[in-house]
Structure 1
Amino acid sequence: MTDVLIRPARPFDAAFAVPLIQATIGRIGYALTGVTDDVAAERTLLGFYPLRGNRLSFEHQLIAQSPGGEPLGVILAYPGDQAEVLDEPFRERLRALGLPGHVESEGTPGELYVDTLAVTEATRGQGIGARLLDAAAERAATLGLNRVGLLVEDGNAAARLYARQGFRPAGTRALAGGTYTHLVRDLT
């Protein structure tokens, strides 16, 4: 799809973006919110979405949309060196629920960390994910960062997209009960 517009997310994008994000992050959403099902996680994430200063805030997202304004996909990315600070609101929530306030921050300093890339099921395979990744690379360069990084779970079909976009393995991580490969795309 060549005529896709990439724009900054706005608070009213929550109804589109949050369910797509939760469907993509699954158990990581449970770990962040202290709940054990998608509906409860979405409900909690909807509360965080319009607020600045947390990892899932609209301020860290770009939306892909059709010329007619239909949202097609979302990318959530922030500087990796801000990960600890951006996760603190989730730690506070967990402690308020009487749970251990442990949230493992995913971002790596020196990179723009892609927390989530998600495209609607109906538009997968049309190049929208690639366009969003390119937009993230542009954002990284604007911020003076020389690479984009992300985690991909073993067996995730999106790994093929990441390879086509120039991402290469840079280690592995265990997170929320899963094993992930840290992929990086150097911009220099």
Structure 2
Amino acid sequence: MTVRIRPAQLFDAGFAAPLIQSTIGGIGRALTGTTTDDDAAHVLAEFFPLRGHRLSFTHTLIAETGNQPVGLLVSYPGEFAMALDEPFRDHLRVLGQPATTEPEGQPGELYLDTLAVSPDWRGRGVGGALLEAAVIRAQTLGLTRLGLLSEAHNPATRLYTRHGFIAAGERTVSGIRFIHLIHELPAAGAASPSVEAGR
């Protein structure tokens, strides 16, 4: 099976928004000021085609097999995490809700905000291909570390461990406790064990 990774386009909103929401759950409801996943996904679909926020198409890669989207990765430099939440804070203000968000990314890392694979395609190399793409994206941006937050019981933690991620502490976001996982990358041009492991 060949997995192709491409930059997201505006038309990907219908695929991306529900998959993002099914992955981020409570964080998505907090960002959108909603109480259900369906409502949160609807708001994220409206945000996705816009620029300048954390869940924009501009920060998203789409994994495809044939012409079928099967997964996605949302990532951005961690140092921009607070600024990228401002459009969501504006949205919360319009709703009359507290305009508070908790930045997740850390300076110096490419923060993997959301890595998600469609249920029928899990365990078939899609997640690994997206992590390989994250390595390339980080090195292109001059960053030498990947970072992400994962709940302790998340089955994807096994994937992250295979690709070189290690625990680097804990964080609580939107009342949910996460493990902060990081993967230190070699300098651009050097062989990456993480990339090789996914092939």
TM-score (norm 2): 0.92
Matches within 5 A, 1:86-105: 86-105=84-103
Aligned to 2:14: 15
Alignment partner, residue 34 of structure 1: 33
Aligned to 1:162: 160
Distance, in Å, in 1 between the alignment partners of 2:93 and 2:11 is: 28
How many residue pairs were aligned?
186
1:49 Cα offset (Å):
0.2
What letter matches 2:139 in structure 1? Answer: A
Provide Cα deviations, 1:44-79, integer angstroms capped at 9, x if missing partner. 111110000000100001000012x00010000001
- Partner of residue 183, structure 1: 181
**Counterparts of 1:5 and 1:127, CA distance in 2:** 11
Q: Deviations over 1:68-112 (max 9, x none)?
A: x00010000001011111000001111111111000011111000
The answer to which of 143-152 and 38-47 deviates more is: 38-47
State the 1:154 CA deviation.
Answer: 1.7
Q: How does 1:1-188 map to 2 (within 5 A)?
A: 1=1, 3-67=2-66, 69-188=67-186
2:63 match: secondary structure:
strand
Measure, in 2, the Cα distance between the counterparts of 1:66 and 1:127: 11
Unmatched 5+ stretches in structure 1 = none
Return the letter of the residue paired with 2:14: A
Equivalence for 2:189: none
Unpaired runs of at least 5, structure 2: 187-199
CA distance in 2 between counterparts of 1:14 and 1:87 reads 19
Deviations 1:150-181 (A, max 9, x none): 00012111110000010001110011111100
Q: Distance in 1 between matches of 2:64 and 2:116?
A: 13
Question: Where in structure 1 do 4 or more consecutive aligned residues deviate above 6 Å?
Answer: none
